[in-house]
Structure 1
Amino acid sequence: MIGGARNCELQKCLCCHHSDQLNFFVDVLHNLRGMMAAILTVAEVNPPNSVISLRNYPFARRTMAERIQVKELGPDKPEINIAQPTKEGTRKYIRTFNRSWFERKSWLTGCGATSALFCFPCILFKNDKSDTTWTESGQTDLKHLSERMKKHERSRVHMENCVKLAMLGRVSIATQLDDGHRIAIRRHNEEVDKNRHVLSKIIDCVKFCGAFELAMRGHDERESSDNPGIFRGLVDLLASIDQDLRQHLDNATVFKGTSKTVQNELLDCMLAVLKERIIEEVTTARYVAIQADETTDVSTHCQLVLVLRYIDNEHNVQERFFEFMKLERACADVISDALLERLRTILPEGQGGKLIAQAYDGAAVMRGATGGVQRKVQDIYPTAHYTHCYAHQLNLVMQKATSHIPQISHFFSDMGGFASFFTKSTKRTAVLDEMVAHRLPSASSTRWNFNSRAVNTVYEHKDDLVRCFQTIRNSDAFDGQTNREAGGFVRMLEDDSFCFFLNLFHKIMPHVDILYSQLQRRNCDSIYIGGAMQAFIRRMQNIRDAVPFLVGDEEYRGPVQEPAPKRRRTLEEDRQQRLAEEVCDTIMTHATERFAFTKHLVSATLLQGDLFQQHRRKFPDRALETTVEAYPSLDKARLKTELSLIYDNEEFQNCSGALALYQVLMANNLQDTFAETVSLLNILITTPMTTAESERCFSTLNRIKTFLRNTMAQDRLNALAMLSIEKKMARGIHDFNSRVIEKFASQKDRRAKFLYK
């Protein structure tokens, strides 16, 4: 019995012993779990560059990648809550830490848990000589903080640690100062200098060809070729006076720089540099307007040109060509999509309000009020108001004045026959050169300055033309059809009605030419256009008043010595007078209607100098309402006050246009006083009145993309067009070649060296 009891007690003791061990292991596991959670929490809360992290995981034990990460993160700048009561005499206040110290001292870091300040480089590279107050305990004394910072910065240990941190991950100073390393760098840079010099000369040749619209490629560009092209000819010419370039061309094996691939890459880089400059100017400009037009190039591809108009930092009006865009077809959707895509790159998000105008030629696909390009663009840019090109408006005015009267329409049709008659035969032209000594320009139904030249030439050389046609008619050297046509022209020039219309339009056309040239100026604004149109209408009225004196006037006959031949009369004098008055009335009526300022253009009347006296008596509130409605960014109340002051000041009345008034305000530093007026003037000046610049771009397109170069790629076309149209801007960029070289070198890895070490 006794033995059995002892065995039971022994078994109980063993069970209790195992139970205690089990509980112990459970407690250990719970503690480890808590420690791991704490470590993870600390790692999440404390970044690797924090003081706590650097204490728990010293910098010396970290891998090189982890050290580089800490260096790139830099000193940790947590919130430091140090409140130190201070008493100076009778004054009591509390000192607190100012976070500006982190900006003033790049080496300073802090610990939010201990509310102390430390030295970041000294914590990373601490040793036995390190000051423990900056690496272990931290600084908490704000009263003497400035003095202790200065003392610590002067210490040798701190300077050494800063150098170690700066050189971490870099080539050592000893290696950098090594003679061999320095010699290699010097040789590399000398080679770069030589390569950049050679490439700069090649860039000059490309710029020259682009500026003067010359074909760069030759028929055969081999060394032995007799026709290598203008570009190679220019390079050889420069090589004859530049020894470095000559040596490069003779000895180069890696990079010669004259291949078509290099030409295209350089053109791409030049285009990118010039576009960047344009976008920089657009970014600084207050408002921007666009001009767009489409045409068909020599390869029957539809090309849309985009021109940007704005005022630059020097207060000059700029109309910059941006690019030609190749379109699949000339419909509203395709054109608007292309324009909007480019505008998103030119005007990034947040700058859409800068686009205040869009000008087109008036074609239905462009000006449609519901589905046209201008409507689709304005849906995205609400302030981009549409302006119908006024040069095209003038053409429409003259077409209307001459097409609805049969006699006038026949007159211009007959005028076109003169040039056509002589262009069909060299024998006819030879007689013209001998007897008239002046060629006859062709007429045009859309370019009224061409019609003006035709009218003036026939008027001034009428008698010589009569003798010329009579000579051709009486000569046996011409066939019967030529003789009949020459006889018809003689009768036409002797017809009284033809001579009357010739005299009438000889008086009208010079005024049309003047207005046409005024409408094609780059710096013309709505105020200038309004004044020019009023002057044109007054001159037309004077001609109309003088119509009775033109009837029966023999002035158009010219200085003829022999007696004048008897004239054929097909219209009575009263009929001639009525037709002449009808022509003048039609021109004035349609000019008044088409050139009237409506909608957003009414804003021009607010700053029209000849209306200041009228506005002074009665302020144009209705025009102001329309202006503010069109441009909501303007402050109506302040603008009205500023305009009232301008109307009362007689000195401002002498300004002939918006640009003149704008320059006066800027020159006298009044842009802050008349802030809203300057904004309105900026809008008026930026708004294009014509698309003449687009037409000039098309002329450049025709000269660049010719029949012999009809397969030219679009990027190359844009680059050559940019170099031609904006050659003045390219010359104005003083480091243009350097910028091109930088872009050229960064395009891809090149075997030739163009970047300095």
Structure 2
Amino acid sequence: MEKGRVSYMSPKIQNEFISLTARVVRKSIIEAVQERKYFSILFDATPDTSHKEQLSQIIRTVNISTSGCFIEESFIDFIHFDKKKGLEISKIILAKLKSDGIDIKHCRGQGYDNGANMSGIYNGVQAHIKEANEFAVYMPCVAHSLNLVGQNAASKVLPAKLILGQIQSLYVFFSSSTERWNTLKPHVHKMLKSQSLTRWSSKADAVSAICEDFKGILDALQELINSETSNSETLASATAHLHQVSNFRFILGITIWNSILGRINFANVAVQAKEIDIGAAGKHMESLHIWLLEFRKNGYKISLELAKEKALPLGIEEDSGFAYRSTRNRIPARYRDSESVVVEPSQESNISRFEREFFLALVDKLILEFQGRFTSLYRTQEDFGFLWGKTLADSPTEYLEKAAADLALKYNDDLSPEGLVTEIGRLRTAVIPFLKDENLQNLHSTRAIDILNILTRNNLANVLYNCHTAIRIFLTLPVSVASNERSFSKLKLIKNYLRSTMGQERLSDLAILSIEHEKTALLSFDTLIHEFATAKCRRVPI
């Protein structure tokens, strides 16, 4: 290369080098999956910018190392598909795993969203994967299930649904005009947020924003009403919105929603972590369920006091906004006859009626939805829970042996019933001396990953082989498809409207280099260049 000149790779060479690097990263991930034996599959789909359906492939494994065991969820590929039925999608998944050299027989879990074509018990993908491997337990995405809990509950309680609709309408009003948006900015610390139909975390953000800056929003609406530059549409809409929200009913409604959605969002964020396991997810759901039961008892009283504190400085009366009417004359006079029943007006106060029709109805629906949504999560937690924590520490030997025998029968290809029953009697005394090494005070505070670390680091894996294997299987089971959702964020960045004609292979290569950037950073450029040079060598041996 001459001095002062820079050499660039041609587009063709760039593509080949990207493809080579991606192939090396993908190969290292697949080799790790094969070495660790047990894995779970996570698949989710979304359309890209060119309206092609992209299926995101994630493999969940447990990295076993003496330096520390941890859960890994690794991206493999984006797969273009145009099928919708469960049987067709399952064939695509099985074919992809086979081409990757990953044996479906070692799959111990499968995670998808709650769509019927994926989760159906007869014709869904999970049912067809189970035909190929009966040990591939289907775990519904906890985050999606939690979203459905809120969605189904709100859809059946009209006053609660109305509040969310008014919040969204307020966002649409301000965001549809730059003049209105700029008028709002000086009055608030947090801008209004839009709500998503599927992500209830967005509803938490939307309610939180209007709750924190309620006075500022009222001031912005009043400014638009008084402004001489506001057109007739803005004036009418601002007046209507001010009338809708500047009342005690609305303040009390957003206060209740803010408490509920904030607590749900806390659990929702927690279960989307890569390193979370079924046990921790189950505890988060139990904690949320207990909170709802407690909130039902005293939540309305607390919310009422908070709403009064917000309404008092604004001069909003406590009885404003409640449009309840007497039922005395519901039947028009012309249609009433002498036998018509006249109902006396209810003596129930507006505040009490709002508690019954909004608060209690909403919380009761949420609690009811909880009872059926997380059955498989709790069942799996119960199946494996005797291997660590309070159950291992306090349960009698007879209970532990029975739980061990039941689990071994369920996973008879991986666990020996006699071996696991024998080992469970030794596990408790075997791990206690090593608790301090893991900064654990006692056996009650242990988690599955803690027991696995103790067994691995202290050469107990071979002695307590069945216990070690059972915990590995448990940690492999998926909790959510949040990693697939995160891969979609990269998809939108890589294949944007400027690159809408990008090919499938290049898309997958760029995606794996970006998503698995930690593995990409560890690659040796010398090795890559050597492999590239070897592949491009044109010398013919004589």
Into which bin does the TM-score normalised by the smaller protein fall? 0.7 to 0.9
Q: 2:149 aligns with which of 394, 397, 401?
A: 397
Q: 2:496 aligns with which of 689, 701, 706?
A: 706
Alignment of 1:604 onto 2:384: yes
Describe how 1:472-491 pairs up with structure 2 within 5 A: 472-491=224-243
Q: 1: distance between equivalents of 2:221 and 2:487?
A: 40
Contact 1:389 1:691 (C-alpha < 8 Å) held by counterparts: yes
Structure 1 match to 2:57: 306
Q: How many residues align?
A: 499
CA offset digits 1:464-522 (Å, max 9, x no partner): 11111111122221122212221222222222222212111221222112101111110
Which protein has greater RCO, CA pairs closer than 8 Å, 6+ apart?
2
Which amino acid letter does the alignment assign opposite residue 666 of structure 1?
T
Q: 2:372 aligns with which of 564, 581, 593?
A: 593
Q: 1:288 aligns with which of 36, 39, 44?
A: 39
Structure 1 match to 2:10: 259
Change (3 A) 1:568 1:407: closer
List runs of 5+ in structure 2 lacking aligned partners: 325-349, 436-441
Q: 1: distance between equivalents of 2:18 and 2:303?
A: 62
Change (3 A) 1:284 1:656: same
SS in 1 for 2:74: strand
Q: 2: distance between equivalents of 1:604 and 1:446?
A: 31
CA offset digits 1:1-49 (Å, max 9, x no partner): xxxxxxxxxxxxxxxxxxxxxxxxxxxxxxxxxxxxxxxxxxxxxxxxx
CA offset digits 1:685-712 (Å, max 9, x no partner): 1111100000001110011000110000
SS in 2 for 1:619: helix
SS in 1 for 2:56: strand
Which amino acid letter does the alignment assign opposite residue 687 of structure 1?
L
Structure 2 match to 1:338: 92
Contact 1:600 1:630 (C-alpha < 8 Å) held by counterparts: no
Contact 2:139 2:478 (C-alpha < 8 Å) held by counterparts: yes
Q: 1: distance between equivalents of 2:308 and 2:196?
A: 23
Change (3 A) 1:437 1:548: closer
CA offset digits 1:565-591 (Å, max 9, x no partner): 573333622222223123222223322
Which amino acid letter does the alignment assign opposite residue 472 of structure 2?
N
Structure 2 match to 1:206: none
Structure 2 match to 1:27: none
| Residue 257 of structure 1, CA deviation | 5.1
CA offset digits 1:443-476 (Å, max 9, x no partner): 1221111111111111111111111111112222
Structure 1 match to 2:106: 354
Which amino acid letter does the alignment assign opposite residue 491 of structure 2?
L
SS in 2 for 1:553: helix
Change (3 A) 1:562 1:310: closer
Change (3 A) 1:552 1:311: closer
| Residue 743 of structure 1, CA deviation | 3.0
| Residue 542 of structure 1, CA deviation | 2.1
Which amino acid letter does the alignment assign opposite residue 83 of structure 2?
R
Structure 1 match to 2:359: 580
Structure 2 match to 1:322: 76
Structure 1 match to 2:258: 506
Which amino acid letter does the alignment assign opposite residue 746 of structure 1?
T
| Residue 342 of structure 1, CA deviation | 1.8
Change (3 A) 1:381 1:562: closer
Contact 2:393 2:444 (C-alpha < 8 Å) held by counterparts: no
Structure 2 match to 1:738: 526
TM-score computed with the length of structure 2 as normaliser: 0.85
CA offset digits 1:194-244 (Å, max 9, x no partner): xxxxxxxxxxxxxxxxxxxxxxxxxxxxxxxxxxxxxxxxxxxxxxxxxx6
Q: 2: distance between equivalents of 1:437 and 1:732?
A: 42
Structure 2 match to 1:627: 407
Q: 1: distance between equivalents of 2:107 and 2:48?
A: 29
SS in 2 for 1:292: strand
Structure 1 match to 2:214: 462
Structure 2 match to 1:171: none
Structure 2 match to 1:569: 322
| Residue 614 of structure 1, CA deviation | 6.0
Q: 1: distance between equivalents of 2:398 and 2:307?
A: 48
Structure 1 match to 2:22: 271
Which amino acid letter does the alignment assign opposite residue 411 of structure 2?
Y
Describe how 1:228-243 pairs up with structure 2 within 5 A: none
TM-score computed with the length of structure 1 as normaliser: 0.62
Which amino acid letter does the alignment assign opposite residue 533 of structure 2?
A
Describe how 1:656-735 pairs up with structure 2 within 5 A: 656-733=446-523, 735=524
Q: 1:425 aligns with which of 172, 177, 191?
A: 177
Which amino acid letter does the alignment assign opposite residue 374 of structure 2?
F
CA offset digits 1:397-442 (Å, max 9, x no partner): 1112211111111111111112111111111011101222431011
Q: 1:409 aligns with which of 161, 168, 183?
A: 161
| Residue 680 of structure 1, CA deviation | 0.9
Which amino acid letter does the alignment assign opposite residue 384 of structure 2?
A
| Residue 312 of structure 1, CA deviation | 2.1
Structure 1 match to 2:423: 642
Contact 1:658 1:681 (C-alpha < 8 Å) held by counterparts: yes
SS in 2 for 1:388: coil
Q: 2: distance between equivalents of 1:330 and 1:745?
A: 43
CA offset digits 1:294-319 (Å, max 9, x no partner): 11110011111101111224322111
Q: 1: distance between equivalents of 2:364 and 2:190?
A: 34
Which amino acid letter does the alignment assign opposite residue 688 of structure 1?
P
| Residue 384 of structure 1, CA deviation | 1.6
| Residue 539 of structure 1, CA deviation | 1.7
Which amino acid letter does the alignment assign opposite residue 710 of structure 1?
S
Percent sequence identity is 24
Which amino acid letter does the alignment assign opposite residue 527 of structure 2?
R
- For the aligned residue pairs, the C-alpha RMSD in angstroms reads 2.6
| Residue 612 of structure 1, CA deviation | 3.9
| Residue 748 of structure 1, CA deviation | 3.8
CA offset digits 1:551-571 (Å, max 9, x no partner): 642546438656445733336
Change (3 A) 1:293 1:548: closer
Contact 1:615 1:647 (C-alpha < 8 Å) held by counterparts: no
Q: 2: distance between equivalents of 1:551 and 1:696?
A: 35
Describe how 1:204-219 pairs up with structure 2 within 5 A: none
SS in 2 for 1:293: strand
Change (3 A) 1:626 1:346: farther
Contact 2:153 2:362 (C-alpha < 8 Å) held by counterparts: yes
Structure 2 match to 1:235: none
SS in 1 for 2:396: helix
Change (3 A) 1:313 1:750: farther
Change (3 A) 1:346 1:656: farther
